[in-house]
Amino acid sequence: MVALPLSKEASFYEEAPRACDCGDWVRYAAAGTLAAGAILLLSGQRRAGLVAAASGTALAMIDQQATVRTWWDALPGYIANVQDLLGQAQRMVENISAQRDRLREVIGR
């Protein structure tokens, strides 16, 4: 079990630059809207819950523009890594298929 000091976590959030100087109302509105969306989804009202969750997400993205920009800039690298992984998987499946065909030839004789 790893214990992290709370002061380190608190300083991390304090050092994050705020992209929007709109006040704390955007943060509170985003949190409230996300909570309302979760409650609506759990109560079975899908459309209203999804609309509330989407608007809460949009408000959170407005409040954290620097973080969203960082993630957006890192996204092409992640996509390239996933594409490489899928290429490796495809080559592996092709090799297994070729070995299966050779095995069928050997067993069929």
Q: What pLDDT is stored for residue 87 in this prediction?
A: 96
Query: Per the confidence metrics, is the pTM higher than 0.75?
Result: no
The predicted pLDDT at position 64 comes to 86
Q: Residue 29 domain-assigned? A: yes
The predicted pLDDT at position 25 comes to 85
**28 and 41 both lie in a single domain:** yes
The pair of three-digit structure tokens given for residue 81, joined into one six-digit string: 């890594």
| Model pLDDT, residue 20 | 56
pLDDT profile of the chain (109 residues), mean per 10: 49 52 79 92 93 91 88 93 96 96 86
Angle at 20 between CA 18 and CA 22, to 5 degrees: 115
Q: Are residues 79 and 56 in the same domain?
A: no
What pLDDT, on a 0 to 100 scale, did the predictor assign at position 78? 94
2 vs 5, 8, 9, 13, 63, CA distance in Å? Answer: 10, 14, 14, 20, 31
Domain with 83, as residue range(s), is: 66-109
